Chain A
Amino acid sequence: MRKRPLFLAVALLAVAFAAAAPVPARAVDLKEMILDPGPLKPVDSVLKVRPGDTAPDFTLPGVITNQGGRRSVRLSDYRGKKNVMLSFVPAAFTPVCSDQWPGYNLAKDLFEEYDTEVLGISVDNLPSLYAWAVEMRGLWFPVLSDFWPHGAVAQAYGVLRTNGTTERAIVIIDKKGVVRFAEIFNINIRPDLGVIMAELHKLEPEPPSGAPRPR
């Protein structure tokens, strides 16, 4: 019997918290077509790469909608040519993910000025990724499928969650193939573009002409 008031209080608090929690903004065209999983455990894996490590190499099948379809990508092909930003996202057609890569679309000039290729990665299969990229009105960067062996690349980087999806993680790799930044962000929240640009700024200190200065 003593437990009842406590239980009631906890239940009331849970209800109040749910009612008060902010809801991320969603583009109107996605609002009704995307299943909202609700708040998820913010981080559910442990990174296996650190700044200074050589980035684990991989080859993945991918699609690049703005250039007509399939494209297989090997990370080490960028060595000596371009910096690379790996953008791991949990899954296609999910709320926050659908609201992340369109921003990188808009920031294409910034990534180019920092001489950086963006590689989007999720554990979805290729047809799903392609349909999703088209639904996002096309993306200028390759979107790679880490579907089979399931999440093998995510596992190598330490960003595979226990339910088989990937973390919302950013890994920045310089032209020597060395990891310069690696972070798992709260899966429920989009990483701030300002944080990403500040990290790229460290690699290419000449500030882009049209960009606000990074923090």
Chain B
Amino acid sequence: MNRLAAALILIFLLAAPALAANPKAGDTLPDQTVKAQLSPAEVEYLGLPAGTKSFRLSQIKAEALLVEIYSMYCPRCQAEAMPVNRVFARLQASPEGKRIKFLAIGAGNSPFEVEFFRKKYQVKMPMLPDADYTLHKVFGSVGTPSFFVLKPGAKGLGVAFFLEGVFADEDDFYAQVLRAAALR
């Protein structure tokens, strides 16, 4: 029996890399319920009912979601904050871009840390604290920063685009997002 237990643990260890593999286009993520204290402006932006405190990601009124997994403590996320702001502004300014909703998830970040990051970089898009890494795990425990384009479907949230790391070129990234969301 000791051997059986050892075998089970070995199987897990061998499977761990597969479990830890990054998401890829074509995967489906579970439609996670999110608890968050959103401002009225954020609720309106996401197209949720007024006073929403808990929602499923698929309830967001959008043809596609752009999600950034970041951390206040990650130097690359800090360096990427202003380019990310510009991408958000660009989406907001474009008729096709407006069909995508952009939100950021602070992996391991408390509400204080999320608010601090928001004020530091004047972030305008909704930001969700994820102090206990619940959402981070749903999104595959990816490195920070990571970006997903998600298309809500019957079985969950279909991954249309995934990038782990910073985007090298804002124009390319913006175009990739629109293409993945099938808006270009």
Mask: chain B, 48-86; 1 = CB below 8 Å from A; 0 = not: 000000000000000000000101111111100000000
- Tell me, yes or no, whether B2 is within 8 Å of chain A by CB: yes
Bound complex: CA A24 to CA B136 (Å): 8
Are A192 and B9 also in contact (CB < 8 A) when A25-B143, A102-B74 are? no
CB–CB A26/B112 < 8 A: no
CB–CB A102/B112 < 8 A: no
CB–CB A11/B116 < 8 A: no
Partner of B1, one of A7, A12, A107, A193: A7
CB–CB A212/B116 < 8 A: yes
- CB nearest to B142 among chain A residues: A25
Partner of A136, one of B75, B119, B165: B75
Chain B residue contacts of A15, Cβ below 8 A: 8-9, 11-12
CB–CB B113/A193 < 8 A: yes
Chain A: interface secondary structure?
helix
User: Which one of B28-36, B87-95, B126-134 contacts A?
Assistant: B126-134
- Tell me, yes or no, whether B100 is within 8 Å of chain A by CB: no
Partner of A102, one of B19, B75, B110, B113: B75
Interface centre among A99, A106, A210 (most CB of B within 10 A): A106
Least Cβ–Cβ distance between A134 and chain B, in angstroms: 12
Chain A residue contacts of B165, Cβ below 8 A: 28-29
Bound complex: CA A130 to CA B75 (Å): 17
- Tell me, yes or no, whether A35 is within 8 Å of chain B by CB: no
Interface size class of A (residues with CB under 8 A): 35 or more
Interface centre among B2, B4, B75, B120 (most CB of A within 10 A): B75
CB–CB A24/B108 < 8 A: yes
CB–CB A25/B133 < 8 A: yes
Q: Which 8 A-B pairs have the closest CB atoms?
A: A194-B112, A25-B107, A11-B5, A28-B143, A22-B133, A103-B73, A212-B115, A27-B74
Chain B residue contacts of A3, Cβ below 8 A: 1
- CB nearest to A191 among chain B residues: B110
Bound complex: CA A37 to CA B183 (Å): 44
- CB nearest to A107 among chain B residues: B116
Interface residues of B, Cβ cutoff 8 Å to A: 1-2, 4-5, 8-9, 11-12, 19-20, 69, 71-78, 107-108, 110-113, 115-117, 119-120, 131-134, 136-137, 141-146, 164-166
Chain B residue contacts of A14, Cβ below 8 A: 9
Chain B residue contacts of A30, Cβ below 8 A: 143
Partner of B113, one of A7, A28, A192, A210: A192
CB within 8 Å: A-B pair count: 120
Bound complex: CA A214 to CA B134 (Å): 24
Partner of B112, one of A10, A31, A192: A192
Partner of A212, one of B1, B12, B71, B112: B112
Chain A residue contacts of B12, Cβ below 8 A: 15, 18-19
Mask: chain A, 14-45; 1 = CB below 8 Å from B; 0 = not: 11001100111111111100000000000000
Mask: chain A, 90-106; 1 = CB below 8 Å from B; 0 = not: 00000000011011011
Bound complex: CA A19 to CA B141 (Å): 12
CB–CB A7/B5 < 8 A: yes
CB–CB A103/B72 < 8 A: yes
CB–CB B5/A23 < 8 A: no
CB–CB A23/B133 < 8 A: yes
Bound complex: CA A11 to CA B120 (Å): 47
Partner of B75, one of A8, A19, A23, A27: A27
Could you pull out 30 A-B pairs where Cβ atoms are within 8 angstroms?
A10-B5, A11-B4, A11-B5, A15-B11, A18-B12, A22-B132, A22-B136, A23-B141, A25-B107, A25-B133, A26-B144, A27-B73, A27-B75, A27-B77, A27-B143, A28-B76, A99-B71, A99-B74, A102-B73, A105-B75, A105-B78, A106-B117, A137-B75, A192-B110, A192-B131, A193-B72, A194-B113, A211-B119, A212-B116, A214-B112
